[in-house]
Amino acid sequence: TTPPEQQVQVKNPHLDTMEEDILYHFSLGTKTHNLPEMFGDIKFVCVGGSANRMRAFAQFIHQELQLPGNSEEIRDICEGTDRYCMYKVGPVLSISHGMGVPSISIMLHELIKLLHHAHCRDVVLFRIGTSGGVGLAPGTVVISSKAVDHSFHPQFEQVVLGKVITRSTELDEGLANELLQYSTELQDLPTVIGNTMCTHDFYEGQGRLDGALCSFSPEEKLEYLRKAHEAGVRNIEMESTVFAAMCRVCAAVICVTLLNRFEGDQITTPHDVLVEYQQRPQVLVSHFIKKRLGLII
């Protein structure tokens, strides 16, 4: 199937009047870099929290697409700054975004402007991340049907000049279904579609009992998680609402669960098992990219 035409569009009338645009947190700019030449052929953008993981993903996709050159020698395009890492592998861009909504939000503003300045078209965006599971076995991959806030509503509250406005966090249903279909073609990739709750805190905000601060009981924690599960929440992470609000039409969120929050709060799974879990969203997205590029049928 042919993907629908997707354009990356900035919604800011002031941008056209600027003589230069410095993408400060990427250490890139319209005067210092030829962005159309560097990025014009990008069709897939994959983002995730950890810099090491997004470098590993770039090396993995380099091998999967059988591109020439040594995948070990992939260069960080943002080496002028340590805020984010960015790797380009053929038509795939792999970027780290740190933890939490504000951190990914800065990256997305500059990414969307980058794709705009580079005249990119038909770009699909993926967030591949880690999460806590809600009633799922650890290692399950969750494709988000929508991102919801702490009250289980599909909305993102953005402050603009001191006033709170609300944006929708629905995601691309067709893209989610396509990914779920592809997951059945792969081994060891237990995958579900569900709602993803996005919080602004890892401890109190996600009902953990093991933070530096905790004022609630284990029973109150479980009641909150049960309510979340009833509302369709299958995993909890910290970036999906703003990712959905800013990217929407051509975007998917694919996170593996590292633990089942009904069973505990601490991540006690051995390191090598966690490493394998974290590769699962990468394998699924790689499969999707190869399908779209016609490398597999």
Q: Are 250 and 127 in contact (CB under 8 A)?
A: no
Q: Which one of the spans 70-78, 102-110, 175-183, 187-195 is the region binding its own copies (CB under 8 A)?
A: 102-110
211 lies in the site for its own copies, by CB under 8 A: yes
Residue owning tokens 């941008």 = 15
Q: Choose, by CB under 8 A, the member of 4, 7, 12, 276 that binds its own copies.
A: 12
Shortest Cβ 210–its own copies spacing (Å): 7
Q: Looking at beta carbons only, is 77 or 189 nearer to its own copies?
A: 77
208 is in an annotated binding site: yes
Q: Looking at beta carbons only, is 125 or 176 nearer to its own copies?
A: 125
Residue 158: C-alpha distances to residues 9, 25, 101, 246 (Å)? 19, 20, 10, 11
31 lies in the site for its own copies, by CB under 8 A: no
Report the alpha-carbon distance of residue 217 to residue 223 in Å, rounded.
Answer: 10
Residue 88: C-alpha distances to residues 43, 193, 204, 214 (Å)? 11, 29, 37, 42
Q: How many CB atoms lie within 10 A of CB 15?
A: 12
Identify the CA nearest to 237 among candidates 256, 217, 220.
Answer: 256
59 is in an annotated binding site: no
Shortest Cβ 172–its own copies spacing (Å): 19
Q: What type of residue is 120? A: C
Report the alpha-carbon distance of residue 74 to residue 87 in Å, rounded.
Answer: 7
55 is in an annotated binding site: no
50 lies in the site for its own copies, by CB under 8 A: yes
Q: Looking at beta carbons only, is 13 or 294 nearer to its own copies?
A: 13
59 lies in the site for its own copies, by CB under 8 A: no
Shortest Cβ 297–its own copies spacing (Å): 36
76 lies in the site for its own copies, by CB under 8 A: no
Shortest Cβ 233–its own copies spacing (Å): 11
Report the alpha-carbon distance of residue 57 to residue 126 in Å, rounded.
Answer: 12
Q: Are 179 and 141 in contact (CB under 8 A)?
A: no
Which two structure tokens, joined as six digits, stand for 90?
């053929």
User: What is the contact surface with its own copies in residues (CB under 8 A)?
Assistant: 10-15, 18, 20-22, 24-25, 49-52, 82-83, 98-103, 105-106, 108-110, 112-113, 116, 150-151, 158-162, 199-205, 207, 209-216, 218, 220-221, 224, 227, 238, 246, 266-268
